[in-house]
């Protein structure tokens, strides 16, 4: 049987019997939206630390995914989140986002936390409580320093070119 015949047979089986949770499509993980800041030379994180994970970054780039810096948390537990950042902008918004329900976005009401909107407070510790109804699994946490004329809490908002995004794996146990 050649590859075209196999593919047609596979599609016929899917059509006749439908997909199940064991099919390959069930395991496709939705990634969070992409933000493209162009410049992080003035507005960036210097440290993100939570649940035993510490990352000293010192403005390594405007868009970063630290796949080896895993934040592991347990449902119902509280953790200190330490965020240090640098900014030269007169307006800043620093946010943390956690995909607690594993739906691939940070748009649910309990998934965003304002860290700082004051350029004079660049070393902030916040207590983050993992919701008791959080879904176990591996998802994402996102941290954003946004500088410029428009500051938004939207995890996908992209208006000005100055800022930094840091994404991390989030494991909920």
Going by their DSSP bridges, the two strands 71-73 and 163-172 should be labelled as: parallel
Give CA–CA dist 69/151, Å, rounded: 27
Rg over CA atoms, the chain: 20
Better-scored residue on pLDDT, 133 or 87: 133
| pLDDT value, residue 25 | 45
Q: How confident is the model at residue 38 (pLDDT cuts 50, 70, 90)?
A: confident
| pLDDT value, residue 2 | 56
Flag whether pLDDT at 14 surpasses 60: no
The average pLDDT across 157-162 equals: 72
Lowest mean pLDDT among 42-51, 128-137, 153-162, 164-173: 153-162
The model carries a pTM of 0.81
Flag whether pLDDT at 1 surpasses 80: no
| CB atoms inside a 10 Å sphere around CB 46 | 16
Tokens of 103: 């739906």
The average pLDDT across 1-8 equals: 54
Which residues in the chain belong to E strands, given as ranges? 44-50, 53-56, 63-65, 71-73, 78-86, 92-98, 112-116, 123-129, 137-147, 163-172
Give CA–CA dist 14/18, Å, rounded: 5
Lowest mean pLDDT among 21-25, 124-128, 141-145: 21-25
Flag whether pLDDT at 21 surpasses 60: no
| pLDDT value, residue 8 | 54
Tokens of 140: 């994402």
| pLDDT value, residue 151 | 75
Q: How does pLDDT run across 48-71, given as a tens digit for each residue?
A: 999 999 999 876 778 899 999 999
List domains and CATH numbers for the chain.
31-172 (2.60.40)
Flag whether pLDDT at 24 surpasses 80: no
């Amino acid at each position: 049987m050649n590859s075209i015949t196999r593919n047609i047979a596979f599609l016929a089986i899917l059509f006749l019997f439908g997909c199940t949770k064991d099919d390959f499509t069930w395991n496709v993980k939705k990634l969070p939206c992409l933000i493209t800041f162009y410049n992080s030379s003035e507005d960036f994180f210097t440290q993100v630390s939570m649940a035993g994970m510490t990352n000293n970054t010192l403005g390594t780039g405007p868009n970063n995914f630290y796949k080896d810096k895993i934040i592991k948390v347990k449902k119902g537990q509280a953790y200190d989140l330490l965020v240090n950042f640098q900014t030269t902008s007169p307006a800043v918004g620093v946010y943390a986002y956690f995909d607690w329900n594993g739906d691939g976005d940070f748009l649910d009401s309990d998934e965003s936390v304002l860290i700082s909107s004051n350029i004079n407070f660049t070393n902030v510790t916040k207590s983050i409580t993992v919701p008791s109804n959080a879904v176990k699994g591996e998802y994402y946490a996102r941290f954003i320093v946004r500088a410029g004329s428009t500051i938004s809490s939207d995890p996908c908002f992209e208006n000005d070119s100055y800022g930094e995004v840091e994404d991390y794996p989030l494991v909920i146990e």
